[in-house]
Amino acid sequence: MHNHPIAKLLHQAGTAINHEDFDALLNIYTDDAVVVIKPGFNATGKAQIRQAFEAIAGYFNHTLKISQSGMHILETGDVALVMAKATVTADIIENLERHASYVFKKNPHGEWRCAVDNSYGFDVLQRAF
Strand (E) or helix (H) holding 72: strand 65-76
Q: Does residue number 79 form part of the binding site for a second copy (CB under 8 A)? A: yes
> Among residues 11, 46, 105, 106, which is the contact residue for a second copy, using CB under 8 A?
105
> Among residues 28, 33, 37, 43, which is the contact residue for a second copy, using CB under 8 A?
33
| HSE, side-chain direction, 13 A CA sphere, residue 48 | 13
Contacts of 77 (CB under 8 A, 6+ apart): 106
Q: Does residue number 27 form part of the binding site for a second copy (CB under 8 A)? A: no
Q: Does residue number 77 form part of the binding site for a second copy (CB under 8 A)? A: yes
Helices (H) and strands (E) in the chain — how many of each?
A: 3, 6
Complex with a second copy: residue 88 or 103, whichever CB lies closer: 103
Options 4-12, 47-55, 57-65, 121-129: segment touching a second copy (CB under 8 A):
121-129
- Decide: 52 and 59 in contact? Cβ < 8 Å: no
Q: Does residue number 99 form part of the binding site for a second copy (CB under 8 A)? A: yes
> Among residues 4, 65, 85, 106, which is the contact residue for a second copy, using CB under 8 A?
85
d(CA 35, CA 44): 6
- Find the shortest distance in angstroms from Cβ 24 to a second copy: 21
Q: Does residue number 112 form part of the binding site for a second copy (CB under 8 A)? A: no
- Decide: 106 and 114 in contact? Cβ < 8 Å: no
